[in-house]
Structure 1
Amino acid sequence: MLSFTVIGVFCLFVSVIFTLVTLYLRWHFDYWRKRGVHGPQPNLLTGTFPKSSAGQCNLLEELHEIYLRYKATQKYVGIFTARTPKLFICDPQLALQILTQHFKHFRDNESSQWTNAHVEQMRLSSPFVSIGEEWKARRSELVPALTLNKIRSFYSVMRDSAQKTIDFLAAASTQTQDVKEVANRYTAQFMSNFIWGIEANAFAVPSKTTAPSASLSPVHCMARDIISQSLQCVRYYGRTAAWPWLRKLHPVRFFPIAADRFFQQLLVDAVKARSKQATEGGGVRRGDVIDHLQQLRDKKSLNGIQIAGHTTTILIDGYETAAILIAHCLLLLARNARVQQKLREELLSIDGADDSFDVLNELPYLEQCLQETLRLFPPLSTLFKLCTKTITLQNADKSIVTLHPGDAVYISTYSFHRDADYFENPETFWPERFAEELGGVRKYREMGVFMPFGDGPRMCPGMKLGLAEAKVAVSELVRSFQVTPASNMRTDNKIAADSFLLTLDGTIELEFKRLN
């Protein structure tokens, strides 16, 4: 009799716990319905994203399904990440207003909540993560180092890095290459010079007895580790979406400790080397990022962690974002012989004496090819914004919703970019859609349907740098090689399920056949 009583009490206890957990998980599920906002019915634990939560697809693909379902009738809909309500914007003009006219109401990025100041400091120096007035200060410190004039002064270094890429491909034992890995060598080579004024030796060829990674430069390895750790962190935040309090109990780092220490020491070494050169009378300002940050240090009382944090912010923009753009542009050109040949003819039409940064920067078809690549594979594929000041938004049916500080808003640039109502045959690589005679990039930006780097005051500060790196790399490689897809390359544009910086699903393997 006693055993049955114990079993009964245990079963009752389990039932109560199960009920309480279920109530906790469902607690907010009527959040949007009470406010008159339409949206898909959420599921327990996975919210509105059951397939991406199970690793079956990228979050963007489920967002796109929601977008296609509601865009004709709703300017915004209510969605849930696990149990947390978010407002998903389906109207491009409203999205543009949120990023521009209503910026003071949506000043912060949701990712600012993902970094714990007690765990890591360097990442907080990034204007992408900083909040409030701190964001404005951090951005103002970086922008002067990334102007077009600064980038122009490093044109010869970019071309030298591109020539090393050509030599590396020409000397390779096989024509087939992982083009993303090659692009990262190029960006690691250039960024090492642009930021710290050092030679990266990013194109060392691995020996037969060592792994390919053994030939990578230290900067390349550390930047790669940051990207890998950041991806793990994003996954962790996805897994704990239903239990956000776990993040306070067990905070995780976006940057590995080893990377923090490496870049702080690299900064110390670079500054010491310049001080020594100045003492010996041989110091010459290079105009690189370290020069800029040294001048800022005393004016704004920046400490070593903040300065090192700025270097890693610029590094990730120039190392990973630019490499993704280069790799995907080469992939799309490899698939499209007509476009590749048309681009090559434009590049070969440049007279050697006129081959300058400004001339390259003004080539229309090269620009169109890169913009079309950015349309299909935008670096900022989703913008996660936080409401910072109460605002009321109106839906298509004139109903309204009031957002308060802390409410999250999602904008899918991926969905706008692949909407057939704005871009005819959206899955087709057709650079001519960005021709000036058709309205160019400006037309689509004013419509709010093209924002690969975001828009408004928090637009990606590294945009010009990434585009310049890509223009030099793509132009030099297309001049020198006929690029074709490897036999095993996929022919569609399916994105990787676990990518947060948008990438094709699988390795991008291309063949490079020397032309001259």
Structure 2
Amino acid sequence: MTQEPVYPPPEPYTPNFLRRIRRGLYSWFGLLNEWDFRIPVGALRFMGLNLLLVNEPAAVRQVMVSEVEAFPKHPYMLWILEPLIGRGIFAVNGEEWAQQRRLLDQAFQMAQLQRVMPQMAAACQASLARLEAQVAGDLVAGRSVDADAEMTLVTADVIVRTILSRSLEGAEAEAIFAAFTRYQKRAGRALMLRLLRLPRRRLQGYLARDAAPIRAWLAAAIDARLNAPAAHTPGDLLAALIEARDPETGACFSREQLLDQVCVLFLAGHETSASALGMAVYLLGCFPEVQQRLRAEVLEVLGSRAGAPDRPLGFEDLRQLSYGAAIFNETLRLYPPLSFFSRESQANTELAGSRCPMRALVTISPWVIQRHEQHWSEPNAFRPERFLSDANADDRRWARDAFLPYGLGPRKCPGAAFAQQEALLVLAELVRRFEVLPDPEHEPELVARLTLRSRNGIRVRLRARS
């Protein structure tokens, strides 16, 4: 049996859903039980609401791809995000979503991956410098490094440089991260309390207190840009959002819509990436043979080009890191940053042979599907080989049919390629310069709220390579 990295095991089955909600106030994992990882569809009724957990891949595609209009995002998830992102693309449905997606797609085309590589590289180099300074002191003091905190900072720095053409560090970053952390905790509790029919307005007011400083900070940056002379405007993602025009209507983003979309991009662009990268660093420390193979791949790629091995990794180098991509995909399988997607059925229908009533809350959980006993061999084991081109037929099938960390269909995350490029760069540069070692006195305590995070951080030891 392959070694299994840390994960919160599902609770024993209980028919008492109120007890599960009580557990869910701390982490949405509390809603799950051991049977959820073995069945195609789980269904129950609670306080007049029908709840379905859909694990069967064909039914998942029915909800997220082939019949997506019949399963829009559930209102509970829309209002839980609204205090933070307003009516940004994650919080709307129908034609409003379609227009926003057309404008965002246009902006992302203008800010292509190769064009944003310098901003990613600059943030990565700043991160390495911070880690080098920490390691010098940590080795003397015998302490470890909080990889979770550093991955949160570097991913936020990447997205701020990409959107706003400036860096993010120090007290400014700490204040924003603290507000995000509080919002995460409150959002998880608010959803559980909403299931118990607590008033929506009161819960949104509870959330707005921590959303306000984040929105105010980003609003100030947007206003400064809108008021700046055109000659001084950098060619970043904010500029692309301002210039984007709907090809069907000619419409553009208003100032308030710009703020909502930038809040979405900041939330999605740093919070989800930080979650995945923190766990990837943890896994590298737990599996030294994987780390060594990644480092060998990085040095091989660098050695094939002029100026190696001291030059930074470039755009074309990252495209050759197939094992690095497999490591990150396996990290996303085991630790998907978004553990749950929720939809609302618009009509009476069936999912995998189970009745799905109108207005049911339909949940699709990457956390469950990607650890489901019917989909994966050794589902809780870390095996990057599942995602290599020479993987066996079963692994290739499930990597295609039961792997959805970014969602599926038209509402799939538009920043997936951005996240993959960022992760490969950070991990590859990290193993070039450091040996990642586990901290024997630390184990991450994972909780699922808006995203998957470790309650007690992710501590590792870093040893500088000569």
Q: When the two structures are superposed, what TM-score results if normalisation uses the length of structure 2?
A: 0.85
The answer for the alignment partner of 1:210 in structure 2 is none
Name 1:387's counterpart in structure 2.
345
Q: Label 1:394 to 1:456 Cα distance change in 2 as closer, same or farther (>3 A).
A: closer
Aligned to 2:216: 261
Aligned to 2:49, which of 76, 80, 84?
84
Distance 1:300 1:64, change over 3 A: farther
Find 1:49's aligned residue among 10, 20, 40.
20
Q: CA deviation at 1:220?
A: 5.4
Equivalent of 2:155 in 187, 191, 195: 187
Q: Which structure has the bigger radius of gyration?
A: 1
**Offset at residue 392 of structure 1 (A):** 1.7
For the Cα contact (< 8 Å) 2:376–2:398, is it kept in 1? no
Structure 2: which amino acid aligns with 1:291? Answer: A
Quick one: percent identity of the two aligned structures? 22
Whole-Å separation in 1 of the counterparts to 2:243 and 2:111: 18
The corresponding residue for 1:98 is 63
Query: How do 1:73-222 residues align onto structure 2 when only pairs under 5 Å count?
Result: 75-80=40-45, 84-115=49-80, 120=83, 123-147=85-109, 150-172=112-134, 173-175=137-139, 176-200=144-168, 202=169, 215-216=170-171, 218-219=172-173, 221-222=175-176
Deviates more, 1:139-148 or 1:345-354: 139-148
CA distance in 2 between counterparts of 1:478 and 1:116 reads 36
The alpha carbon displacement at 1:297 in A equals 7.0
Residues 390-439 of structure 1: CA distance to partner in whole angstroms, max 9, x if unpaired? Answer: 2521555xxx52532x3210112211211233222222211111111126
SS of the aligned residue for 1:78 comes to: strand
User: Aligned residue for 1:34?
Assistant: none
Within 5 Å, which residues of 2 pair with 1:225-240?
225-240=179-194
Instruction: Flag the 1:194–1:306 CA change in 2: closer, same or farther, 3 A.
Output: same
Structure 1, residues 426-467: CA drift from partner, whole Å, max 9, x if none? Answer: 2221111111112698632542x1111111111122222222
Could you tell me how far apart the structure 2 residues matched to 1:95 and 1:160 are?
39
> Partner of 2:280 in structure 1?
329
Give the deviation of 1:273 after TM superposition: 3.4
Tell me by how many angstroms 1:107 deviates: 2.5
The alpha-carbon distance between structure 1 residues 337 and 41, as it changes in their structure 2 partners (threshold 3 A), is: closer
Task: Work out which of the residue numbers 429, 432, 435 in structure 1 matches 2:388.
Answer: 435
CA deviation string 1:270-295 (max 9, x = no partner): 233353xx1xxxx4652x11111221
What is the match of residue 499 of structure 1?
Answer: 449
Residue 318 of structure 1 and its aligned partner are, at CA, apart by: 1.6
Inter-CA distance 328–250: structure 2 relative to 1 (3 Å threshold): closer
- State the TM-score, normalizing by the size of structure 1: 0.77
Note the residue ranges of structure 2 that are not aligned, 5 or more in a row: 1-12
Cα deviation, residue 219, structure 1: 4.9
2:263 is matched with 312
**Mapped pair 1:273 → 2:215:** no
Q: Deviations over 1:116-148 (max 9, x none)?
A: 97xx4x623321111221111122222233359
- Structure with the bigger RCO (C-alpha within 8 Å, sep 6+) is 2
Secondary structure of the equivalent of 2:18? coil
Alignment of structure 1 residues 54-73 onto 2, 5 Å = 55=26, 58-60=27-29, 62-68=31-37, 71=39
1:41/1:227 CA distance change after superposition, 3 Å:
closer
Q: Compared with structure 1, are the counterparts of its residues 238 and 311 closer, same or farther at alpha carbon in structure 2 (3 Å cutoff)?
A: same
Q: Secondary structure at the match of 2:421?
A: helix
Letter in 1 for 2:32: L
Whether the aligned pair in 2 keeps the contact of 1:453 and 1:460 (CA below 8 Å) is yes
1:158 aligned partner, one-letter code: M
1:126–1:444 CA distance, 2 compared to 1 (3 A): farther
Query: 2: distance between equivalents of 1:141 and 1:479?
Result: 38
Change (3 A) 1:112 1:240: closer
- Tell me the secondary structure at the aligned position of residue 302 of structure 1: coil
Q: Is the 8 A contact 2:184 2:449 kept in 1?
A: no
Contact 2:337 2:452 in 1 (8 A): yes
| Secondary structure in 1 matching 2:32 | helix
Match in the other structure for 1:510: 460
**C-alpha spacing 1:291/1:54, structure 2 compared with 1 (3 Å):** closer
Query: Does the CA-based 8 Å contact 2:54-2:362 persist in structure 1?
Result: yes
SS class of match (2:377): coil
Q: What's the Cα RMSD here? A: 2.8
Partners of 2:373 and 2:379 within 8 A in 1? yes
Determine if contact 1:184/1:220 at 8 Å carries over to the other structure.
Answer: no
The one-letter amino acid paired with 1:506 is N
Match of 2:315 among 357, 361, 370: 357
C-alpha distance in structure 2 between counterparts of 1:383 and 1:188, whole Å: 23
Q: What is the identity, as a one-letter code, of the residue corresponding to 1:327?
A: G
CA distances 1:152-199 after superposition (whole Å, capped 9, x unpaired):
212122112111111111112215111111112212222221001123
2:326–2:388 Cα contact (<8 Å) kept: yes
Q: CA deviation at 1:59?
A: 3.1
In structure 2, give the amino acid aligned to 1:123. Answer: I
Whether 1:422 aligns to 2:372 is no
Alpha-carbon distance in 2 for matches of 1:102, 1:285: 41
Structure 1: 5+ residue stretches without partners: 1-39, 203-214
1:27-46 equivalence runs, <5 A: 42-43=15-16, 46=17
- How far did 1:505 drift? 5.0
Separation of aligned partners in 1, 2:108 and 2:423: 15
Distance 2:105 2:119 in 1: 20
Which stretch of structure 1 is more off in the superposition, 310-319 or 229-238? 229-238
1:338-417 correspondence to structure 2 within 5 Å: 338-351=289-302, 352-353=305-306, 355-388=313-346, 390-393=347-350, 395-396=352-353, 401-404=355-358, 406-417=359-370
* Secondary structure of 1:138's aligned partner: helix
* Matching residue's letter, 2:227: K
Q: How many residues align?
A: 435
Q: Secondary structure of the residue that 1:135 maps to in structure 2? A: helix
